[in-house]
Amino acid sequence: MGIKTTSLKFSFWKFLCMLLIGLIASAAIPFSLIFAGASTGFIAYADYSERSTKDLVPIIAATPDLTDVQLPMGCKYLVLDKNYQMIETSLEGDDLDRAMDYAIYGKRNENINKQYLLVTRKTEYVVLQYYIGSQFTNEWLYEHFPSPEILLYILLGINCIAVCVILTAKFAKNMQVQLSPLFEATKQVTGQNLDFEVGHSKIKEFEDVLRSFSDMKDNLKSSLEKQWNAEQRQREQIAALAHDLKTPLTVIQGNIDLISETELDNEQRVYAEYITESSGQIGIYIKTLIDISRTAAGYQLNLEKFDISDYMEQIEAQTNALCLTKGICLRMKKGDNLGTFKADKLLLERAIMNVIANALDYSPQKGTIYADVQKSNGFLYISITDEGSGFTNEDLHHAKEQFFMGDNSRSSNMHFGMGLYITSSIVKQHNGELTLKNSDNTGGAEVKIKIPY
């Protein structure tokens, strides 16, 4: 059953319409409040003060004592004698100056919200200042709040901003939800997982992209499965061929050993040595082929607990024997309380000896190899450092890859670029990590094995 979709264009138009409706509603609410306040007498109309003040003109002109007159809210006054000298006022500052100008020169105020009215009495003039604009009829609200017009503008601004923020956030969240299947799919592919179902989106353009992505994922999965199957068959064929070659090679080596025990002249002995050496090289090639097939398929771990300190002493003894043949010194440092460790002893030994073999190959004559074994935060750390020239930038990025040869000038003819690759595979199968760097102390290569206890 297909998913009902809408176009991205429709989604944008829907958002714009909702935004327009929201803005209209946000403007209507403050106006409605002002209208309701005016209808109930809570807010006075804009000309209320003007009408009230003009209605008081004949009363002020006829009343001897001005204090007997009840002035409208917000209305202020200035009392002048016939010589325009101030007698009494409730004005101050610029308002007082403008009232004087109006009384003397008839100059009208430029501020449209504040206007003046001149009332002539028998012995004096009265200038009234009144406010043009709506205002609260409640005295406390009039004194403590801005005018209704200003409150209207404030509410309009707040409502419009709130509507824009809320609707934009809602639209953005909806877009994020519709795009989330694409983000999840790319995350799965980045994690090298192709065994998943691509989600769907209700937006047509996004759904088209997801369908294309799903097709690409399926095609890639099919292609990789074919490649993996072909590689698996190739590895199996290589492993079978390597095992088949061991039998005739054993026969050759056995026969050449028997021939070597007979009486041979010098020429025959030289040929026999050639055969022995060549068969030994073939044996190394076969062993390498078997290692390649085993490493690619994954080693079968035979986990057992053992004392790590005793175990490293055995490794040290083996390494010292190798170091003696090359005039290199081994310095091994072991931490206290290493305790017991659960791992495949043979595979772990091979991983460590591969690293040590590399260090021996790249160490200078009469150099030193440093081995450090420590337990920290639930991990076993085995660090091997030599005094050679160290890793190049290319080595640091590719030395753990299969068949990487590194610096050919330092590699022997029998070096196939498998040592660190095999070590890395063994360490990974123990849920560990192999890291490479150049030592700050010796300047040589430093290889660290980290495996959880």
List beta partners, residue 127: 78, 118
pLDDT per position as a tens digit, 361-404: 889 888 999 999 999 999 999 999 999 888 888 888 777 766 56
Parts of the chain with a pLDDT under 50:
1, 408-416
| CATH code at position 277 | 1.10.287.130
Same domain, 373 and 428: yes
d(CA 247, CA 433) in angstroms, rounded, equals 37
Per DSSP, 68 falls in state: G
Q: Dihedral angle at the C-alpha atoms of 171, 172, 174, 178, nearest 10 degrees? A: 140
d(CA 143, CA 74) in angstroms, rounded, equals 9
Give the pLDDT score at 414: 45
Give the pLDDT score at 356: 92
Contact indicator for 99, 111 with CB cutoff of 8 Å: no
Same domain, 271 and 323: no
Cα atoms found within 13 Å of the Cα of residue 222, Cβ hemisphere only: 6
Nearest to 435 by CA among 445, 444, 443, 350: 445
398 located within any domain = yes
Q: End of a domain among 297, 329, 351?
A: 297
Contact indicator for 323, 360 with CB cutoff of 8 Å: yes
What CA–CA distances, in Å, run from 184 to 181, 198, 355?
5, 8, 40
Nearest to 121 by CA among 69, 47, 74, 52: 69
Element (H, E) at 450: strand 445-452
Same domain, 316 and 431: yes
Same domain, 325 and 448: yes
The reported pTM is 0.49
Same domain, 287 and 313: no
Give the β-pairing of 329-334 and 368-376: parallel
173 located within any domain = no
Tokens of 418: 């498998």
57 located within any domain = yes
d(CA 210, CA 207) in angstroms, rounded, equals 5
State which residues form the domain around 95: 46-133
Give the pLDDT score at 411: 44
Amino acid at 433: E
Q: End of a domain among 248, 270, 297?
A: 297
Same domain, 93 and 108: yes
188 located within any domain = no
**Alpha carbon 342 to its chain's center:** 36
Provide, for the chain, the percentages of residues in helix, strand and coil under a 3-state DSSP scheme, each rounded to the nearest 5: 55, 15, 25
308 located within any domain = yes
Strand residues in 191-232 grouped as ranges (E): none
Q: What is the CA radius of gyration of the chain?
A: 48
438 located within any domain = yes
Same domain, 276 and 322: no
Same domain, 308 and 447: yes
The per-residue DSSP string of 238-263 comes to: HHHHHHHHHHHHHHHHHHHHHHHTS-
Nearest to 358 by CA among 395, 397, 332, 394: 395
Q: End of a domain among 257, 279, 297?
A: 297
d(CA 54, CA 59) in angstroms, rounded, equals 10
d(CA 98, CA 92) in angstroms, rounded, equals 10
pLDDT per position as a tens digit, 42-73: 888 888 888 888 888 899 888 888 778 888 87
Give the pLDDT score at 295: 66
The per-residue DSSP string of 397-442 comes to: HHTTSTT----GGG--TT--S-HHHHHHHHHHHTT-EEEEEE-TTT
| CATH code at position 384 | 3.30.565.10
Amino acid at 7: S
Residue with tokens 């065994």: 195
Q: Provide the domain count of the chain.
A: 3
Same domain, 336 and 411: yes
Same domain, 94 and 120: yes
73 located within any domain = yes
Same domain, 329 and 242: no
Number of Cβ within 10 Å of residue 16's Cβ equals: 12
4 located within any domain = no
Number of Cβ within 10 Å of residue 451's Cβ equals: 22
Provide φ and ψ at 324, rounded to 5°: -60, -40
Give the pLDDT score at 296: 62
d(CA 393, CA 294) in angstroms, rounded, equals 29
Contact indicator for 373, 316 with CB cutoff of 8 Å: no
d(CA 305, CA 396) in angstroms, rounded, equals 33
Same domain, 416 and 330: yes
Give the pLDDT score at 407: 56
Please, what is the end-to-end C-alpha distance for the chain in angstroms?
52
